[in-house]
Amino acid sequence: MVAWFEESRLDDETALSHADAALRNLAESGARVRRDAGEAQFALSQAVAIAQAQGRPRAVVAAGPDSRLLRAALEPWCPVPFVAWPNPGLPGWAGSLDLVVVLAPDGGDVGTASAVAEAVRRGSQVVVACPERSLVADHAAGRWSTILPTASRDQLATAVLVLEYLDRVDLGPSADHEQVADALDGVAMACSPHRDIAVNPAKMLAIALADAIPVVWGGSMLAARAARRVAESIRRANGRTAIAGDAEHLLPVIEAATPRNVFDDPFDDEPSDLRPVLVVLDDGAEDPAVREQRGRLLAAAAEHGVRTETVSTDATSEVARYASLLLSGRYASEYLAIGLVSQ
């Protein structure tokens, strides 16, 4: 099957209408964050009260398959030892002195339910974000347990709820849900299908990636997490390679790019001839190590004639910046899928 990218489809009402459900889902990201947070405020206050009564935990354990997102947010901030535990059950040492937090967007994962039940049995303080009527919620009942009810089944909205709790008990970075929702709404407006290519950053990024191998980089831990998720969404959109990783992993790909012949026909590229495009997810992190890696990548791209695309954000908190970068990349991936025509 031969596929090519037709950029005119990105402003074509008929083509866009076929992806209306997916684009609407992206546009409602901020609303889902607000809805879940709003409905969980009473439970959130209860969880904070329990934490204040018990004092600072010895350690924080994030359990369940979605624990890696919490690790990206908490590792640079958490003032006590922190462990992400995506496996069933809990670490052997976790007990009554520790806090166990769990993201369970759909509430149906058996391994997560097992971990929650084990935390309750050991007397840990437990905070679980999940649907009220779910397998995980059924296993969370306990004296020191709090269920933060969710309805959206959205991973990001569920994560923001738990991160807001951790922020309020001084165990994590600033994670006000209104700031996150505002950042998501801003991306939805800027990347709306009703904005044409000339003023739509997501459509322009999709065009840049259409005939390329995306090499996606984020410097901070959260930006790096966003880069991996964006690369996944690009792979789903076009079925081609998209790479995300640290500078050490991406530099060989950039340095291996052969100079483009100015006499090549730009409409006659085969997949094997696709060149990399460096996509920098810039969340404003100015850590010296981040600046050094970014500088090396940009220098290598310039030396080898590799195009660079930068996705930036002016959101006011780290979690909001992560959400903004992730949604921007997902919009670009969706427009990439819309523009592809198969024959």
Residues 203 and 277 in one domain: yes
Please write the tens of the pLDDT for every residue from 121-176. Answer: 999 999 999 999 999 999 998 888 999 999 999 999 999 999 999 999 999 999 99
Residues 333 and 227 in one domain: yes
Whether 185 is covered by a domain: the verdict is no
Share above pLDDT 70 across residues of the chain, in percent, rounded to a whole number? 94
Number of structural domains (the chain) is 2
Residues 154 and 268 in one domain: no
305 alpha carbon, distance to own chain's centre: 29
Confidence of residue 269 (pLDDT cuts 50, 70, 90): very low
Provide the sign of the torsion angle of the four alpha carbons 55, 60, 66, 69, taken in this order. positive
Residues near 269 by Cβ (< 8 Å), separated by ≥ 6? 211
Strand order across the beta sheet in which 145-149 lies: 82-85, 60-63, 99-103, 125-130, 145-149
Whether 206 is covered by a domain: the verdict is yes
**Model pTM above 0.85:** yes
More confident residue, 251 or 2: 251
Confidence of residue 263 (pLDDT cuts 50, 70, 90): low
Domain boundary among 177, 204, 227: 177
Q: Is the pLDDT assigned to residue 85 strictly greater than 70? A: yes
| Mean pLDDT to the nearest integer, 92-102 | 94
pLDDT given at position 86: 87
Residues near 19 by Cβ (< 8 Å), separated by ≥ 6? 193, 334, 337, 338
Q: Is 275 exposed, middle or buried (0-12, 13-18, 19+ CB in 10 A)?
A: middle
More confident residue, 261 or 69: 69
Residues 89 and 162 in one domain: yes
Confidence of residue 89 (pLDDT cuts 50, 70, 90): confident
- Give the C-alpha separation, 283 to 294, whole Å: 12
Confidence of residue 267 (pLDDT cuts 50, 70, 90): low
pLDDT given at position 1: 47
Q: Is the pLDDT assigned to residue 266 strictly greater than 60? A: no
CATH code (residue 328): 3.40.50.10490
Residues 47 and 172 in one domain: yes
pLDDT given at position 271: 46
Please write the tens of the pLDDT for every residue from 205-233. Answer: 999 999 899 999 999 999 999 999 999 99
Q: Is the pLDDT assigned to residue 21 strictly greater than 70? A: yes
Residues 13 and 43 in one domain: no
Asked if residues 217 and 251 have their Cβ atoms less than 8 Å apart, the reply is no
Q: Is the pLDDT assigned to residue 304 strictly greater than 90? A: yes
User: What does the chain come to in residues?
Assistant: 343
Residue type, 11: D
Whether 24 is covered by a domain: the verdict is no
326 alpha carbon, distance to own chain's centre: 5
- Give the C-alpha separation, 278 to 197, whole Å: 20
Which structure tokens are listed for 290? 């981040």
Picking from 234, 204, 202, 236, the residue whose alpha carbon sits closest to that of residue 216 is 234
pLDDT given at position 268: 53
Residues 337 and 217 in one domain: yes
Residue span of the structural domain in which 221 resides: 3-19+193-342
Whether 184 is covered by a domain: the verdict is no
pLDDT given at position 300: 96
Domain boundary among 120, 142, 177: 177
Asked if residues 193 and 206 have their Cβ atoms less than 8 Å apart, the reply is no
DSSP character for 260? Answer: P
Share above pLDDT 90 across residues of the chain, in percent, rounded to a whole number? 80
pLDDT given at position 288: 93
Distances (CA, A) of 204 to 20, 71, 105: 19, 32, 32
Whether 186 is covered by a domain: the verdict is no
Residues 12 and 99 in one domain: no
Confidence of residue 343 (pLDDT cuts 50, 70, 90): low
Residues 112 and 142 in one domain: yes
Residues 35 and 124 in one domain: yes
pLDDT given at position 75: 85
Which structure tokens are listed for 76? 């640079």
What average pLDDT does the chain have? 91
Domain boundary among 150, 177, 204: 177
Asked if residues 323 and 184 have their Cβ atoms less than 8 Å apart, the reply is yes
